[in-house]
A and B are shown apart, each in its own frame.
Chain A
Amino acid sequence: MLTPEEWTAVLLSLKVAFWATFWSLPVAVATAWLLARGRFPGRGLLDGLVYLPLVLPKVVVGYLLLISLGARGFIGQYLDAWFGIKLIFTTAGATVAAAVVSFPLTVNAIRLALEAVDRGLEVAARTLGASRIDVFFSVTLPLMLPGILSGALLAIASALGEFGATITFVSNIEGQTRTIPLAIYSATHMPDGDAMALRLTVVSILLALGALLLASLVDRRIRALLGRA
């Protein structure tokens, strides 16, 4: 079916997409909460910053990551000196690129879910003796779950497809940063690469389709459970 080289790219893609989503999800929930409920100066600015990667060229995002988190970047040099974390040319770096690019989509899905939560239920929970934090974890978060799950699946899907920011930030290194899109890109530059490009394209389609099916299945299950139409 797939060559070892292609398997490497597929597994790397899945790994990058999973970890990118895993790390960005809590941050996305917190950001969505700040944007939907927060009352603080600079909220509009935060709103704009969060959605910026969505509208910027991905190459620009990748370049910004390079000059900030790269080996000599104003943050990157300290990450290396203090924690020994190297992002450039590494899977960790590819994960960061995927997370940043998918972040606005995730935040948006979660924010919509949060805004749909009936605040009357939160008031009811507090009259029953729950503190604000307790209410968040026992009422708000479970009711946001459909949105969080669809946000997560969106994040995974968009992380699987990330190309521009990754190749600009962490280059195209097999086994480290060469995810499926980058492998397809490489294949199209190789003589006799057509078969490989085609096989990886099929894998891409299958993965995307699988994510969409899973999303709608989960969504239907949860709606049935909560009794929503």
Chain B
Amino acid sequence: MIEIDIRLARPGGFALEACFATPGSGITALFGRSGAGKTTIIQAVAGVVRPDAGRIAVEGEVFFDSERGIDLPIEARRTGYVFQDARLFPHLTVEGNLRYGERRARIVARRIGFDAVVELLGIGHLLARRPHTLSGGERQRVAIGRALLAQPRLLLMDEPLAALDEARKAEILPYVERLRGEMGLPVLYVSHSVDEVMRLADRIAVLREGRQVAFGTVGEVMALPEVVPVIGRLDIGRVLDCVVARHDGDYALSDLAFPGGTLRVPQVDLPVGAPVRARVRSRDVALALSKPQDVSMLNLFPASVEEVRLQEGPYADVTLALGEGRLSSTVTRESVERLGLRPGLPVWAMVKSVAVDSRHAGFGGPNS
């Protein structure tokens, strides 16, 4: 269990208030725009920044407690910190960097081995190199390895992909996913990218201007109205935890089963039975009162309206129940009136297959 309850104010007018407790496994994303206070939170966990008041504890060990006067020094906290800019030591080789923390780690019961980390991150061929000769993606993988080998209690990742282009991001993401799967370390992951959070996170704390506006599982939080200002109206949607049910090679499509139906999407590069996460944006869900004929959309779900919330401007948010599952649809207020949408009304929900692309259907799933 990672418990965070901190308050701090800075002379420039910046104030931060965050309070959440997240399980000691899986990836917890700290999500928000830049300046929202995400990095400050993990800096406080690492001990780099000292909160004005509050308490930080990891697996029962108190890092900081203003009331009891506890403030462990950075080096005693054993947090594996992966910086946005890697911060590899330029005077050491890749191996020297990897060994730096390992050498300083006191022997602990569950030891993360050098060979395992090198293998996991695919950096064996880089060991003799100097940091400045590495690509951005390689540097970040070495930085992750260095943090892991310091035998940390948890991993703090501060937008580790933000400085990389799309190709490099795609190169690293699978390693971060393996990290979660194989190391079983809890991770606090700072990001302002909806895609990254969707793909990686189990839980998410959403921050806005220093205030925590939501905390919960990704599926729950991403549909909350409080999150709209952070994500942006056009990007809100539901995250469905699915399982790959079937591949259709002829059409290069895959069926993803979720509680409430089956989503047909462009082919996913995963075996049948693999857990997968699909993100269905609210603006990609259309509604009809009778079963549509002659439409191109492959995903037609009988559903019932659960809630209609009129928004500013032309928009309205409609929550749909599909048995156990939930979808959200953003429609116009005009459509709400014309179709007479109201709670309890049976409707057909339509989702374009191509709107759910593989970028939004990552590894993972409800594993914690």
A residues at B contact (CB < 8 Å): 118, 120-121, 123-131, 134, 138-139, 142-143, 145, 225-228
Contact = CB atoms under 8 A, between A and B. Distances in A.
Given A129-B105, A134-B104, A124 B131 contact: no
B75 A131 contact: yes
A227 B131 contact: yes
Contact of B87 (A121, A130, A142, A143): A121
Interface in B73-98: 73-75, 77-81, 83, 85, 87, 89-91
Contacts of B80: 127
A130 B132 contact: no
B87 A126 contact: no
* Chain B interface extent, by class: 20 to 34
A225 to B, nearest CB: 7
B132 A227 contact: yes
Contacts of B89: 121, 124-125, 139
B368 interface: no
A190 B100 CA distance: 62
B81 A227 contact: no
A223 to B, nearest CB: 10
Given A120-B85, A121-B87, A142-B91, A128 B100 contact: yes
B290 interface: no
Contacts of A128: 75, 100-101, 104, 146-147, 150
Q: What's the dominant secondary structure at chain B's contact region?
A: mixed
Interface of B: 46, 48, 73-75, 77-81, 83, 85, 87, 89-91, 100-101, 104-105, 130-133, 146-147, 150
Nearest to B101: A128
6 contacts: A127-B80, A131-B75, A138-B100, A225-B130, A226-B132, A227-B130
A132 to B, nearest CB: 8
Contacts of A138: 100
B368 to A, nearest CB: 25
